[in-house]
Amino acid sequence: MFDTLSDRLSATFKNLRGKGRLTDADIDATAREIRIALLEADVNLGVVKEFIAAVKERAKGAELTGALNPAQQVIKIVNEELVEILGGQTRVLRFAKRPPTVIMLAGLQGAGKTTLAGKLAKWLANQGHTPLLVAADLQRPNAVQQLTVVAKRAGVAWYAPEPGNGVGDPVAVARNSISIAQQKLHDVVIVDTAGRLGVDTELMQQAADIKAAVNPDEVLFVVDAMIGQDAVSTANAFAEGVGFDGVVLTKLDGDARGGAALSIARVTGQPIMFASSGEKLEDFDVFHPDRMASRILGMGDMLTLIEQAERTFDAEQSAKAAAKLSGRGDGEFGLGDFLDQMKAVRRMGPLSKIFGMLPGMTGDMKEQISGIDEKEIDRIEAIILSMTPAERENPKILNGSRRARIAAGSGTKVSDVNKLVERFFEARKMMTQLASGKMPGMPGMPGMGGPGAAGPKRQPKKQQGKKKRGKGVSGNPAKRAGGAGPKPKEEAVNPAAAFGMDPSQMDEKQLQQAMGDFELPADLQKMFKNR
């Protein structure tokens, strides 16, 4: 969603590289480019003016030091101001002192409230809670059925006493759900209310009545991040009519400009608490302003990436794989281990999304990431699954006939199997070096070719060209009598003696026999006879 904004900001900061200091003209030009980038991203005009004023004031202030170059100084300021616009600190849910905690969802129709209710319920269940989904949206066709399906997919309980489709009292359903949750020991109640097409007075009053009936601990306003400034105006109207405690952004994986996400927290004064970025129930997480600002500026989001890896990777399985790579495990790291790790990575989400969290993924790199073919991973998985357990454990046994069988079983070509095996061996070699602390060209690593590696030492320049001085005779008579002084020159050893052919140690018969055994040419025979 923020790709265009991120690219524009990256290009702006690139223009500052190479400058020794920031002048007023540099600051004004940079502020102008940032203003254009934010306006093109559909950020609220008032927010843009406030943001630019703060950046210019800080850039011209006394906070600039010689520790950072101009580009780094501006990036630091812009990053901190973006964090402020997005809400400052991470806001977490407030839980009731006496369960159940009641969470009420509200927003425009089509914002994805019902799906988000399932995502929130699944997220809470993973945190150890027992949520209850309540179908209080009795206006939209099939809203009750949708919530039932979503609850089943999320593996949580639901309460839907009315059929919906315009039938039933949503206020009574919401009120009765609290007693049901207390009876069945649910510690969280999530009330899904009816959406509205705009500032609808009737539905606004209905939302106010539901809020009064259940007295929610949190009222979350669900916003489609793709609708732009309409989200801000609707959020303001809802804040005045009903009130809410936090914002949930949906469809952050869309291709819209994303100005609502950068505007709504500052305009409404309420923090963004959660973000949804996909269709799966797992595509949901707490919103961190500092991490989102880091993504927008192309600096990645390593903390979120690490958290996702911790949730999806099996710690014991990863430890065994790491032990094999470092040579401390049972056997070598095989294709079966590689397949397990690859499946864990895929559980984190699309590869383009994962790589997008790495720092520096902007411009051309971002285009290459977006072009990743997920089907290629499917083909690799099919090839490995077509192998026997012994072949996965030891790919060195894969001969021609085995590779032909694997290619036929996986629906690929033999060349595809060959490429996979070759790349695996190369990757395993590199990972083994990393796991054992060895890298080609690193200092102090024997045989690695880097500085400090074992090998002949070069003499310092001052010593080059100087002849070593011979060892002189000691002035001490006792030492001279003890044999101190130049060592006698050793006799030269014939190299042929290493092969048992030293002519100086052979009689004529032995010499003739040796030359006959080796069938030496006449010239060499003459040379041996002369020795």
Q: Which residues are annotated as a binding site?
A: 107-114, 192-196, 250-253
Cβ distance 46 to 267 under 8 Å? Answer: yes
Cβ distance 135 to 192 under 8 Å? Answer: yes
3-state secondary structure 297-334: CCCCCHHHHHHHHHHHCCHHHHHHHHHHHCCCCCCCCC
Cβ distance 42 to 259 under 8 Å? Answer: yes
Token couple for 121: 């319920």
Cβ distance 306 to 109 under 8 Å? Answer: no
Cross-strand partners of 284: 276
Q: Nearest 5°: phi and psi at 381?
A: -65, -40
Cβ distance 249 to 287 under 8 Å? Answer: yes
Cα separation, 43 vs 34, in Å, equals: 12
Q: How far is CA 147 from the centre of its chain?
A: 32
CB atoms within 10 A of CB 471: 10
The DSSP 8-state label assigned to residue 503 in this structure reads G
- Of 259, 284, 282, the residue nearest 273 (C-alpha): 284
The annotation places the binding site for GTP at 107-114, 192-196, 250-253
- Of 213, 256, 219, 273, the residue nearest 87 (C-alpha): 273
Cα separation, 404 vs 417, in Å, equals: 8
Cα separation, 215 vs 244, in Å, equals: 12
Helix orientation angle between 70-85 and 3-14, rounded to the nearest 10 degrees: 150
Q: How far is CA 469 from the centre of its chain?
A: 62
Q: What is the DSSP string of 27-49?
A: HHHHHHHHHHHHHHTT--HHHHH
Q: Bin 406: left if φ > 0, else alpha if -120 < ψ < 50, else beta.
A: alpha
Cα separation, 104 vs 238, in Å, equals: 13
